[in-house]
């Protein structure tokens, strides 16, 4: 019953001589919000690309709800229930917000009327209702991020991969986004998010995996991971953990 | 665009059907029938390029296949014209599917796709020009056998209305596509393939469907051309002229719209005729190629100043609110 | 079967012609490498250059090898102008627009030539047009030999230009990283236009080299340019070495397929290679990054 929704099993990815992901294994349980963090260049986006089907792993496999999806194309994974947003937003610029979201909804419904109703519904969930008939190109960065989210949600996913959905947002926009993300989980969608905005990771994620230089170096609840010396070193450099400890002791 | 409705299509169809009542001269009738044929070819291109974003520079490959199939089925195999027509259209679609399969599987996009379609059209032209089955350089002559049973109408107006049937059919088809799930997915592929893929769109399948449909429609134009002029050779069937007309009309009229190809074809051909006549009168004789020079200029001007064609200009001025493609 | 001498001769002939093909392809690949556009007007420009040689010869009695001194700069200027003031502004930087604008240009040029010169095929008569040179067992056409040597000379000069001069370095910078180059103070529009001009100049030179032995009609350029496209795609878009190697290979292939398949079908060999390369390895044999 508590079978993991997503099982990443010994995944490695090499680009020629460069090893981007090294034997990474972790699971994501249904109904949770899991975070994937790590310094830049750690391999998070590559991992996301592998999970969503845009890249093939050199080794290892991906299992979704017990089914091996390693060789499935992105659209097939979307049909199974894996949706993703993109780090650099990719709106359908020439279409309206409604039409954008509709593309996602068309995955599950064929009737135009039904699809447009669904699009309006989803737009409401992310707060884009007033912009429904405006062209996607007219949206601000924050608006486009919500559109990314809305489109992915319209596909009625079971697992939602959020790739730095908060990047480029100012603090008040971030504050507005967090309850939206939380409401997504309440609707029954499992979330795996790559994120740099630590406050979001802290407040949203129940469980966090830390990736550094292609390998998983730590995992656990956010508060524990934040104190893990290995994690501190990964972000702040070699010896930082012990330096911080000494500094802490000196001030005590 | 958003204003397109079945009423509008019906209205346009009725207006066009009423034309022969006003235009009685053979010259005018020939012109509008030809314009109709070009419109159909353009409607085909418009589906693949306007809605799908895949710019083909070699739609002659499909036009010519429809034309030759129509002619050869009658001439070499004695097939009745009415039976030959659906077969020719099917063959056109098949060729489209083959070109599409090869090109899209190889992930060709943009310029590369344009180039490969150009190459295919040229290969067909060379083959048709060399092969005795297609009549070689001499071409194919469809024997004159006037009679509705042979799709050779005694009354030129009948041929016009027959072509018009397909033009209106193209309008309806385009409208239906634009409001369907297939259409939404096609447009998504045009705008951003990766995003479409992430949303569950099988981009290869969508592009294939689009090119098959596009090729079949353009092949229909080829078949009708063969039936109207009763003669074709490799340059007529597979020559660059039709690849250019098929792409220029939608661009000038309004790419990715229902009425764009029709409007563009009429404007283009009308323009071409007027220019040829004026310049012909000025210089005392027809100058070959002068109308195409104009087409080239028009293409550049349209791209530079009216990228969404005439319909785009009209829309921009009349509506204050924004609208995307339906 | 065919005697080996005939095949040898065909191969030699193919190599010579291949040199000029390489020169034509050079302009195309340079433009692609720097501007990242496929110039559909390349063929029409070549035709126009060939007619220019024709006019120079018939109106002024200028020998093609001398005319090059005037035509190369002229076409450079024309190419510069067209890119700077027509293609650049009209396309607003959009890729599919550029496609259409260059297509439009090709239509204009080709049909203007048709309107001006009608569709008859023309040629020029030069005293050395049929001269041959003995190289070992082979009898090679002198103008073709000159063309071959000249093409490589031009390629060498071009290479030196790109490596040693400031403009050349600017061109390479823009090809690699346009935004960075702009931030360094390089006028990208100007560089684009210069590159385009160089491409056109190459065509002018190629035209001068071709006219002693070839015929011209308004559609000639197209025949050459499809060959050029094939070479560029084969050798890798943006790769100069690829254009040279590809040119020679294609020259030989064309010669041999003309030999075995005859005039009308000979061209198909090129197209089929073109399609095959596009489908199987669009980055070309050299695997140059596109």
Look at C275 and B106 and tell me if their CB atoms are within 8 Å: no
Interface partners of B (3+ CB pairs, < 8 Å)?
Answer: A, C
Q: Is the pLDDT of residue B325 over 60?
A: no
Q: Is the pLDDT of residue A182 over 80?
A: yes
Query: What average pLDDT score do residues B21-36 get?
Result: 89
Look at B322 and A78 and tell me if their CB atoms are within 8 Å: no
Amino acid B149: pLDDT = 87
Amino acid B175: pLDDT = 96
Rounded-to-integer distance, Cα B274 and Cα C195, Å = 39
**Tally of CB atoms within 10 A around A53:** 22
Question: Taking CB atoms and an 8 Å cutoff, what residues of chain C touch B190?
Answer: none
The phi, psi pair for A212, rounded to 5°, reads -140, 130
Shortest CB distance from C115 goes to which of B108, B116, B290?
B290
Q: Evaluate whether A136 touches A150 at the Cβ level (below 8 Å).
A: no
Determine B/C contact with 3+ CB pairs under 8 A as the test: yes
Looking at the complex, report in whole angstroms how far the Cα of residue A155 sits from the nearest Cα belonging to chain B. 7
Using CA coordinates, name the residue in chain C closest to B287: C115
- ipTM value: 0.89
In degrees to the nearest 10, what's the CA dihedral of B306, B311, B316, B318? 150
**Helix/strand/coil (H/E/C) assignment for every residue in chain C:** CCCHHHHHHHHHHHHHHHHHHHHHHHHHHHHHHHHCCCCCCHHHHHHHHHHHHHHHHHHHCCCHHHHHHHHHHHHHHHHHHHHHHHHHHHHCCCHHHHHHHHHHHHHHHHHHHHHHHCCCCECCCCCCCCCEEEECCEEEEHHHHHHHHHHHHHHHHHHHHHHHCHHHHHHHHHHHCHHHHHHCCCCHHHHHHHHHHHHHHHHHHHHHHHCCCCCECCCHHHHHHHHHHHHHHHHCCCCHHHHHHHHHHHHHHHHHHHHHHHHHHHHHHHHHHHHHHHHHCCCCCCCCCC
Q: Evaluate whether C268 touches B127 at the Cβ level (below 8 Å).
A: yes
Q: Calculate what percentage of chain A has a pLDDT beyond 70.
A: 98
Q: Calculate what percentage of chain A has a pLDDT beyond 90.
A: 69
Amino acid C286: pLDDT = 47
Shortest CB distance from B119 goes to which of C119, C265, C274?
C274
Q: Is the pLDDT of residue B321 over 60?
A: no
**Tally of CB atoms within 10 A around A34:** 22
- For C148, residues 6+ apart whose C-beta sits below 8 A from its C-beta are C15, C16, C18, C19, C20
Q: For B109-144, what is each residue's pLDDT tens digit?
A: 888 898 899 889 989 998 999 898 999 889 999 999
Q: Evaluate whether B181 touches B190 at the Cβ level (below 8 Å).
A: no
Amino acid B210: pLDDT = 97
Amino acid B256: pLDDT = 93
Q: Is the pLDDT of residue B192 over 60?
A: yes
Question: Taking CB atoms and an 8 Å cutoff, what residues of chain C touch B300?
Answer: 86, 90, 100-101, 104-105, 108
Helices (H) and strands (E) in chain A, counts: 10, 10
Amino acid C259: pLDDT = 79
Query: What average pLDDT score do residues A11-33 get?
Result: 91
Q: Is the pLDDT of residue B324 over 50?
A: no
Q: For A203-216, what is each residue's pLDDT tens digit?
A: 899 999 999 888 99
Look at B297 and C267 and tell me if their CB atoms are within 8 Å: no
Q: For A71-84, what is each residue's pLDDT tens digit?
A: 999 999 999 999 99
Mean pLDDT over each residue of chain B, to the nearest integer: 90
DSSP strand pairing (A159-163 vs A190-194): parallel
Q: Evaluate whether B152 touches B84 at the Cβ level (below 8 Å).
A: no
Query: What average pLDDT score do residues B18-26 get?
Result: 85
Amino acid C283: pLDDT = 62
Q: How far is CA C37 from CA B4, C165, C227, in A?
A: 36, 24, 17
Look at B114 and C38 and tell me if their CB atoms are within 8 Å: yes
Query: What average pLDDT score do residues A241-245 get?
Result: 73
Closest CA to C229 of C85, C40, C7: C40
Rounded-to-integer distance, Cα B32 and Cα C43, Å = 34
Look at C264 and B129 and tell me if their CB atoms are within 8 Å: yes
The phi, psi pair for A83, rounded to 5°, reads -120, 155
Question: What DSSP string describes B228-281?
Answer: HH-EE-HHHHHSHHHHHHHHHHHHHH-TTSSSHHHHHHHHHHHHHHHHHHHHHH
Amino acid C91: pLDDT = 81
Rounded-to-integer distance, Cα A146 and Cα A199, Å = 19
Amino acid C287: pLDDT = 44
State which residues of chain C have pLDDT below 50: 286-290
- For B292, residues 6+ apart whose C-beta sits below 8 A from its C-beta are B241, B244, C107, C110, C111, C114
Q: For C206-241, what is each residue's pLDDT tens digit?
A: 999 888 888 888 878 777 777 888 888 887 777 788
Enumerate residues 38 to 57 of chain A having a beta carbon within 8 A of any beta carbon in chain B.
52, 54
Q: Is the pLDDT of residue B284 over 80?
A: no
Query: Model's pTM, two decimal places?
Result: 0.88
By CB neighbour count within 10 A (0-12 exposed, 13-18 middle, 19+ buried), where does B8 fall? middle
């Amino acid at each position: 019953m508590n079978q993991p929704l997503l099982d990443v099993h010994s995944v490695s990815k090499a680009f020629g001589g460069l090893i981007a992901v090294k034997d990474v294994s972790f699971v994501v349980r249904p109904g949770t919000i899991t975070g994937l963090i790590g310094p830049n260049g750690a391999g998070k986006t590559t991992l996301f690309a592998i999970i969503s089907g845009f890249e093939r792993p050199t080794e290892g496999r991906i299992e979704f709800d017990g089914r091996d999806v390693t060789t499935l194309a992105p659209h097939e994974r979307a049909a199974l229930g894996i949706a993703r947003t993109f780090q650099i937003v990719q709106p359908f610029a020439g279409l309206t917000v409604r039409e954008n979201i509709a593309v996602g909804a068309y995955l599950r419904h064929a009737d135009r009327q039904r699809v447009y109703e669904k699009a309006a519904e989803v737009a409401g969930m992310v707060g884009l209702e007033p912009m429904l008939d405006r062209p996607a190109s007219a949206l601000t960065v924050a608006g486009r991020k919500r559109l990314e989210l809305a489109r992915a949600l319209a596909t009625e996913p079971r697992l939602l991969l959020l790739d730095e959905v908060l990047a480029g947002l100012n603090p008040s926009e971030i504050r507005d986004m967090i309850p939206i993300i939380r409401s997504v989980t309440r609707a029954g969608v499992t979330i795996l998010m790559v994120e740099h905005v630590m406050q979001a990771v802290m407040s949203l994620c129940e469980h966090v995996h830390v990736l550094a230089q292609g390998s998983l170096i730590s995992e656990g609840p956010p508060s524990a991971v934040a104190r893990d010396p290995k994690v501190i070193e990964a972000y702040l450099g070699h010896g930082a953990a012990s330096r911080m400890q000494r500094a802490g002791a000196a001030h005590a | 665009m958003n204003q397109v409705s079945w009423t509008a299509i019906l209205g346009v169809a009725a207006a066009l059907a009423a034309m022969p009542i006003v235009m009685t001269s053979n010259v005018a009738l020939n012109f509008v029938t030809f314009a109709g044929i070009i419109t159909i070819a353009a409607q085909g291109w418009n589906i693949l390029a306007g809605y799908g974003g895949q710019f083909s520079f070699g739609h002659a490959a499909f036009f010519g296949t429809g034309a030759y199939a129509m002619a050869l089925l009658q001439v070499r195999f004695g097939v009745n014209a009415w039976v030959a027509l659906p077969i020719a259209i099917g063959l056109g679609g098949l060729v489209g599917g083959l070109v599409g399969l090869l090109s899209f599987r190889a992930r060709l996009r943009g310029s590369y796709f344009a180039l490969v379609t150009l190459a295919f059209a040229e290969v067909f032209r060379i083959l048709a020009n060399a092969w005795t089955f297609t009549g070689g350089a001499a071409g194919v002559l469809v024997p004159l056998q006037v009679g509705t049973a042979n799709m050779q109408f005694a009354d030129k107006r009948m041929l016009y209305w027959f072509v018009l049937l397909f033009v209106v059919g193209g309008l309806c088809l385009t409208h239906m596509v634009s409001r369907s799930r297939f259409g939404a997915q096609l447009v998504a592929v045009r705008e951003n393939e990766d995003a479409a893929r992430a949303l569950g769109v099988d981009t290869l399948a969508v592009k294939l469907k689009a090119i098959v449909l596009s090729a079949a429609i353009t092949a229909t134009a080829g078949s009708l051309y063969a039936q109207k002029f009763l003669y074709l050779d490799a340059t007529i069937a597979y020559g660059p002229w039709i690849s250019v007309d098929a792409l220029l009309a939608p661009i000038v009229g309004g790419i990715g719209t229902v009425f764009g190809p029709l409007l563009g074809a009429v404007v283009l051909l009308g323009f071409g005729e007027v220019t040829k006549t004026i310049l012909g009168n000025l210089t005392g004789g027809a100058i070959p190629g002068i109308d195409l020079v104009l087409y080239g200029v028009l293409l550049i001007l349209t791209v530079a100043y009216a990228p969404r064609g005439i319909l785009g200009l009209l829309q921009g001025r009349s509506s204050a609110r924004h609208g995307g493609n339906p | 079967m065919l005697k080996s001498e005939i095949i040898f001769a065909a191969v030699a002939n193919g190599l010579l012609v291949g040199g000029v093909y390489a020169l034509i392809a050079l302009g195309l690949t340079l433009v692609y490498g720097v501007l990242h556009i496929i110039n559909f007007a390349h063929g029409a420009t070549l035709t126009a250059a060939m007619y220019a040689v024709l006019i120079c010869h018939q109106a002024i009695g200028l020998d093609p090898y001398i005319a090059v001194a005037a035509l190369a700069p002229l076409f450079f200027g024309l190419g510069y102008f067209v890119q700077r003031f027509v293609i650049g502004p009209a396309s607003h930087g959009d890729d599919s627009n550029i496609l259409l604008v260059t297509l439009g240009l090709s239509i204009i040029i080709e049909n203007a030539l048709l309107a001006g010169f009608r569709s008859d095929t023309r040629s020029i008569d030069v005293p050395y047009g049929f001269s041959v040179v003995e190289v070992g067992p082979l009898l090679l056409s002198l103008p073709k030999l000159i063309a071959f040597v000249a093409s490589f000379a031009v390629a060498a000069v071009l290479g030196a230009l790109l490596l040693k001069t400031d403009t050349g370095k600017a061109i390479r910078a823009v090809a690699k990283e346009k935004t960075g180059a702009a931030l360094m103070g390089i006028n990208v529009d100007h560089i684009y236009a210069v590159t385009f001009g160089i491409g056109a100049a190459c065509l002018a030179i190629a035209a001068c080299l071709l006219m002693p032995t070839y015929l011209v009609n308004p559609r000639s350029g197209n025949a050459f340019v499809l060959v050029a496209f094939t070479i560029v795609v084969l050798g890798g878009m943006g790769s100069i070495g690829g254009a040279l190697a590809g040119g020679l290979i294609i020259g030989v292939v064309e010669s041999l397929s003309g030999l075995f398949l005859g005039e009308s079908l000979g061209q198909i060999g090129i197209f089929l290679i073109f399609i095959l390369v596009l489908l199987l390895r669009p980055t070309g044999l050299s695997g140059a990054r596109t």
